[in-house]
Amino acid sequence: MCDNNSVHASQYDPFAFTFGFIVLVQVSTCGTGFNNCPKIHVRTRILLAKGTIGRFKLQCILLILFSPHIINIFCYLVMLSPKNELVVIFGIVYGNNNAVSYGLYGFGDITEIAPVLLFGYLVACPTILTVYVIFARQKLILILHEKIRLMSIKSSGIHASVIKVLTTHTALILVIYALLGGLAAAQIVFHVHSPDVEHAFYDVAIIPALANPVITLCFVRSYKTFVLY
């Protein structure tokens, strides 16, 4: 994902590094949004006392939400740069005879039209998904406030516990934005890249996968209390 003409031992193409940042954000955001969108939608329908949407409609919704992953995979397969070009580029940064070269993939020049188009897609997809999740969550909270007077303590507690989990999951992805964005901005400003920064990026990107189950378990006790109440 680096430009062969601009990579040096202590410098790199900032656009290439930013592209890597966007890929990680897209993966993290789509994964979290894919899980949260159906949950928020179902919880909203329950509060509005609407009927079930049916298995077919639910499957269609899930396929639509999963489609960004399919498009992402297709774009990578179509626009990957030849491996021999990437080996030379990464050899400048990491040195020759590096075993990592056997698993290289990406773009040799991020300024080409195809990578730029994919870059725009990777920016738009997580942005739209995140904005939708935030507004859908806000709508869900407003509906809960309107309906809570008509609910029992048990029902209102169950809904509140689930919404807390969804809210925390949504807030977590915004934290990921801030952390990855800070790392990317620092690299672009100072024009310095190192394997340690790559490690930090991947460590931050997997935070949702590690933290979401723990966060969910924190609310399970109150959820079970209301269910068994």
Please state the domain extents for the chain: 14-227
From first to last of its 229 residues, the chain has per-residue pLDDT tens of 433 333 333 334 444 444 555 555 555 555 555 667 777 777 888 888 777 677 787 778 777 777 776 776 676 666 666 667 666 766 666 666 554 555 555 655 556 676 667 767 766 777 777 788 888 888 888 888 888 877 777 777 777 877 887 777 777 777 777 777 677 677 667 766 666 666 676 677 677 667 777 777 776 666 666 656 6
Phi, psi of 136, rounded to the nearest 5 degrees:
-65, -40
**Under DSSP, is residue 52 helix (H, G, I), strand (E, B) or coil?**
coil
Distance CA 107, CA 113 (A): 11
Q: What's the start-to-end Cα distance of the chain, in Å? A: 55
